Amino acid sequence: MNTKFISFICVAVTVLISATAFAAAPIKIGGLFAVTGPAAFLGEPERNSAKMVVDEINKAGGVKGRKLELVVYDTTGDATKAVQLATKLIKDDKVVAIIGPSTTGETMAVIPVAEKEQIPLISCSAGSKITDPVKKWVFKTAQNDALAVGRIYEYLQKTRQTTVSILTVSDGFGASGREQLKSQAAKYGITIVSDDTYGPKDTDMTAQLTKIRGTRSQAIICWGTNPGPALVAKNVRQLGIKTPLFMSHGVSSKKFIDLAGDAAEGVKLPSGKVLVCDLLPKSESQKKSLMSFVKDYQNHYKAEGDHFGGHAWDAVMLLRNAIYSGADTPSSIRDQLEKTKNFCGIGGTFTYSPQDHAGLGKDAFVLVEIKNKDWVVVK
């Protein structure tokens, strides 16, 4: 056989193999979750959910033939560590986008890195300041605390409770919630008669609650993430306070009920619909996605899929949709994310735009109450 012809065939085969290998190269996505540490009740289900949905996408053939590769690091809830690991994901792992972090404080610390390096960041945190004002490279899937405050205040207005006491944790999430509680109060005809805080590591809030007991509050609103709110609920019961107790969406998982025990009974809070998906009417547009998520999570991890895991599920699916639309670089993924319309996820129905990188409306929340160690919808 002609040697030139053989050489030509060898080169052609090599080029074909190289092209095939290139086409099959996985698309790397980064994950920053507080898998351990005080915020593990957020980060562990987020990590688990992200892995679960990436595995399912890959088993189904990937996205247009390309697999997704999820590179996850545990931030332990530490903002400094989150910044270091975000830099590692970008510089060393060459990810095209980052999901997380789990907390508002970590996210605010990582935002400058994402903006400087021009990498899409889809936060799993709730603080309104994450996307308000809009940052070009930053999106979020957790429902805004502004919407959560509005949901509580709407209920208080409806039930004619006009005086409240607020008790917020002194971290990024608590500060953002406190700002919203104060700024929205007048709109709903509500007067804040006591405004106090507690530290993230505090183990007893009886001093603050004793002061609240001496006020004319018709409701107490605690804004924080576990374990603090569970301790507040226990202290309220220990002090014999009968004033209705409301929590933020930062405790919308069974973990709060486990931590607070009997003191959780009667507590009300705004939550994504996943906690009560089995109680939703068939006409609810989210119900199919919610039920599927809960079932998948139960099958994979022998535990209930929750509000927090849903944030990561939504983030992965939003990226999957962007990639399916033809995006495979940070810039093109960012552009496709911003074009998202009516994506029915776990946290709600997302519509992003150049003016809105949070993507959800107040219908993303329902008000729930804990009864007999389970959730019911407040009508």
Q: What confidence tens digit (pLDDT) does each residue in 261-281 have?
A: 999 999 999 999 999 999 998
DSSP-derived 3-state class of residue 220: strand
* Residues 51-80 pLDDT 10s: 999 999 999 999 999 999 999 999 999 999
Closest CA to 43 of 74, 88, 71, 69: 74
**pLDDT exceeds cutoff 80 at 3:** no
Where is average pLDDT lowest: 17-21, 22-26, 315-319? Answer: 17-21
- Check residue 286 and give its pLDDT: 87
- Check residue 288 and give its pLDDT: 87
Structure token pair of residue 45 = 């289900």
**pLDDT exceeds cutoff 90 at 138:** yes
Label residue 20 by pLDDT band (50, 70, 90). Answer: very low
Q: How far apart are CA 131 and CA 344, in angstroms?
A: 20
**pLDDT exceeds cutoff 80 at 1:** no
* Residues 145-191 pLDDT 10s: 999 999 999 999 999 999 999 999 999 999 999 999 999 999 999 99
CB atoms near residue 15 (< 10 Å): 10
Do 251 and 230 form a contact (C-beta atoms < 8 A)? yes
10 Å CB burial of residue 326 (0-12, 13-18, 19+) is exposed
CB atoms near residue 5 (< 10 Å): 9
191 bridge partner residues = 163
- Check residue 350 and give its pLDDT: 96
* Residues 104-129 pLDDT 10s: 999 999 999 999 999 999 999 999 99
**pLDDT exceeds cutoff 90 at 304:** no
Amino acid identity at 265: E
Label residue 6 by pLDDT band (50, 70, 90). Answer: very low
- Check residue 379 and give its pLDDT: 85
**Average per-residue pLDDT in the chain?**
93
What are the chain's domains?
22-144+286-360 (3.40.50.2300), 146-278+365-377 (3.40.50.2300)
- Check residue 23 and give its pLDDT: 53
Q: How far apart are CA 359 and CA 336, in angstroms?
A: 14
Q: Percentage of residues in the chain with pLDDT exceeding 70? A: 94
